[in-house]
Structure 1
Amino acid sequence: ELRILLDKQACHETLTRYCRALDWLDEEALKTVFTADADIDYGFFQGRGDAFIPVVMDIERSFLRRWHLTANAIIQVTSDTAEGESYGLAAAVAEREGRMVTDVFGGRYLDRFARRAGRWWITKRVYVLDWQRSFESDAAAEAMPGLVWSNGFSPTHALYRKL
């Protein structure tokens, strides 16, 4: 039973690496999430994991800031494979027609994991979008002095740490 708990935790960390890789625009970290031959279906993209990575990174680079979270993950481990479902929440800020706009997405990830060479990877993912909202960002929030905003986050940013 301890092995199952450790495997579930490793799958959770794979989900967390996905979010962090997108938030920091860390393409190398994203390559540790999906197998090259993973079966990926996001609706707008259907294909292999290695082809998905540059597509999703281009989308994320189009935003000034981005924030991803997975929660309520349930993972069932069977030996070296696992099935999982988790909820995803993502927010991104972009400038559109001179205005700051925030897009928020809520959905779920239906994942299959596999342990390969001692590490858990996503080998199949279907993303289901449950809802989406866009709204103009509050100008007062953009001007709060002293806060560190995540504009420009990347692996070369001074706050980035390789974890």
Structure 2
Amino acid sequence: METENENAINQLLDRQAIHDCLVRYSRGVDRLDRELLLSVYHPDAIDDHGMFVGGPEEFADWVIPMHTSMHLSQQHVLMNHSCELDGSSAHAETYYMFVGMNRQGPPVSISGGRYVDRFEKRDGRWAIAHRVCVRDWILTDEAVDPDDPAAYTAVKGGLPAELAMLMASATPSTRDRTDASYARPLVISNERLEAADRA
């Protein structure tokens, strides 16, 4: 039987493995490192990034060319982090700040939000099973519509209508218990997956 100390140590190891996975995500996406990026997800994971909803391979195919074409460099900085362990699953909320050196338009884009994740431990490995990227703010000279998640992203203008609709229906940031960070278990809805297929 596991002692209280052994249990505490195992929980600390689990928390560290989850945090290491989150840091690998930032490094992978900022270095445009496909292999490193894929290492943070289980193969059947779903990532809802607002204007993208799909699996890890498709996400890498979308996010790496997007950042390559839009930015000279970028950083996804991780900040506040909470993690609730529940056996072989965990729910985490991690604040991020994004800064990108733009190829066109304003020299710099700055925005912030949260990664809301359901992690699962499979065969001794913690990785993301479901992720929702919630956008909370963006540095801008214009007032934004608080009910439009698309207003909080640096990717603007020229979006096909279907993609703009997908982004507009993304999970909003709320300041109450309807926020995605309270969902247990966190699951990407079939409606979002179907909307992504149409886009």
Tell me the CA shift for residue 66 of structure 1.
0.7
State the Cα deviation string for residues 79-102 of structure 1 (Å, max 9, x = none): 2111111101111112216xx611
The correspondence for 1:119, drawn from 118, 121, 125, is 125
The correspondence for 2:74, drawn from 66, 80, 91, is 66
2:103 is the counterpart of 1:101: no
Q: In the alignment, which residue of structure 2 is the partner of 1:11?
A: 18
Instruction: Give me the whole-angstrom Cα distance separating, in 1, the residues matched to 2:65 and 2:44.
Output: 20
Query: Greater share of strand residues, 1 or 2?
Result: 1
State the Cα deviation string for residues 21-52 of structure 1 (Å, max 9, x = none): 11111111001011221121111011222211
Instruction: Give me the whole-angstrom Cα distance separating, in 2, the residues matched to 1:101 and 1:60.
Output: 14
Instruction: Give me the whole-angstrom Cα distance separating, in 1, the residues matched to 2:83 and 2:46.
Output: 18
Q: In the alignment, which residue of structure 1 is the partner of 2:138?
A: 132
The correspondence for 1:56, drawn from 52, 60, 63, is 63
Tell me the CA shift for residue 134 of structure 1.
5.3
Consecutive unaligned residues in structure 1, runs of 5 or more: 136-163
Q: After the TM superposition, which residues 23-42 of structure 1 pair with which residues of structure 2 at under 5 Å, given as runs?
A: 23-42=30-49
Consecutive unaligned residues in structure 2, runs of 5 or more: 1-7, 142-199
Instruction: Give me the whole-angstrom Cα distance separating, in 2, the residues matched to 1:82 and 1:10.
Output: 11
1:102 and 1:134 in contact (8 A); partners too = no
1:90 and 1:106 in contact (8 A); partners too = yes
Query: Greater share of helix residues, 1 or 2?
Result: 2
Q: In the alignment, which residue of structure 2 is the partner of 1:45?
A: 52
| Percent identical | 36
Instruction: Give me the whole-angstrom Cα distance separating, in 2, the residues matched to 1:36 and 1:61.
Output: 24
1:40 and 1:126 in contact (8 A); partners too = yes
Instruction: Give me the whole-angstrom Cα distance separating, in 2, the residues matched to 1:22 and 1:68.
Output: 8
**SS of residue in 2 equivalent to 1:96:** coil
Tell me the CA shift for residue 132 of structure 1.
1.3
Give aligned pairs, total: 133
**SS of residue in 1 equivalent to 2:24:** helix
Q: In the alignment, which residue of structure 2 is the partner of 1:145?
A: none
Which segment is superposed worse, 6-15 or 61-70?
Answer: 61-70
**SS of residue in 2 equivalent to 1:25:** coil
1:112 and 1:123 in contact (8 A); partners too = yes
